[in-house]
Amino acid sequence: MKIAVAAVKGGVGKTTSTFCLAAVLSRMGKRVLCIDLDSQADLSAAFRCECDASNPNIGEVLNSSRREQRSLMKKAVVSIEGWADLITPGSQLDHYEKEVEKGIGSDQRLRDALDAISSEYDFILLDTPKGDGLLTRNALVACDQVVVPVQMEWLAVKNLPRLLQKISEIADRLNPDVVVSTFVPFQLRRTSFSKRSYQDLCNWDATPHLPFQQAPIWVAPPVNDLTLYAELSEAGVPIYEYPGVEDKHIEPFQKLADYLEQQRCASLEVSHAR
């Protein structure tokens, strides 16, 4: 199953979600590939994987012909020992993005590239940059499900219609089966202000913004505002190995992983029945 972790807003927890989800899914024995679609390369840094110029990266893959993509994609995968696989953005993703934008089928190139390797993984997690630019659009076209981290602050749901509108357009034209599966409340504080944002999200009706989607959006258990989550990417270790982490800190990501695994099994059953 291919999952885009996306939000129009920056700094809301996309990379942290991807990093923690990858750890928990791997611990469950799932085969996981993460693709870092952000030129900031925060996810690659968290995995301690510098952009190695000798390795093909996602920018090069997207900018190559469909025939070349297949072999490049396999070469671009870096195995992070005992954990997940990763494809880095490379140091020239911005340059490639401009090149790809000019080309034919620019929104669909990641989807084509993933065909080469998707059967090798149970989960492919796409960490997107902020905004709804070309790389985010590629992720939304390529994915089966979208997971949306939402920061529990003032006007938490304000930016959601823009993202859902973009996904609806993509569902209409390019990816009719895409499902917005989950909102992940992020950085929940003890303040009444933050708690109110959480209630707003739980009560928010996304239906008018997602005319193509029958299934409701699940609101995952909230991730609290805690320094340890911020420290994880600096430490570069899976969440369950970080000193001082307790089950309660892992639980939101474990529940999210369990939910996504259920969704994956259900979609496999549907495709077998066809």
**Interacting residues toward ligand ATP by CB under 6 A:** 10-16, 38, 42, 129-130, 186-187, 223, 225-226, 229-230, 233
Nearest residue to Mg ion, by Cβ distance, number only = 15
Tell me the two tokens of residue 228.
Answer: 């340890």
Query: Is the Cβ of residue 10 or residue 103 nearer to ligand ATP in the bound state?
Result: 10
Q: Which residues contact 51 (CB under 8 A, 6 or more apart)?
A: 41, 44, 57, 88, 89, 90, 91
1-40 mask for Mg ion (x: CB under 5 A)? Answer: -------------xx-------------------------
Q: Residue 271, exposed/middle/buried by CB under 10 A (0-12, 13-18, 19+)?
A: exposed
Smallest separation (angstroms) from Mg ion to the CB of 35: 12
Query: Is the Cβ of residue 85 or residue 153 nearer to ligand ATP in the bound state?
Result: 153
Query: Is the Cβ of residue 5 or residue 141 nearer to ligand ATP in the bound state?
Result: 5
CB atoms within 10 A of CB 231: 14
User: 187 is in the binding site of which of ligand ATP, Mg ion, none (Cβ under 5 to 8 A by kind)?
Assistant: ligand ATP
Query: Is the Cβ of residue 73 or residue 148 nearer to ligand ATP in the bound state?
Result: 148
Amino acid at 207: T
Core vs surface per residue 22-43: b (16+ CB within 10 A) or e: bbbbbbeebebbbbbbbbebbb
Distance CA 123, CA 26 (A): 9
Binding region for Mg ion (CB under 5 A): 14-15, 42
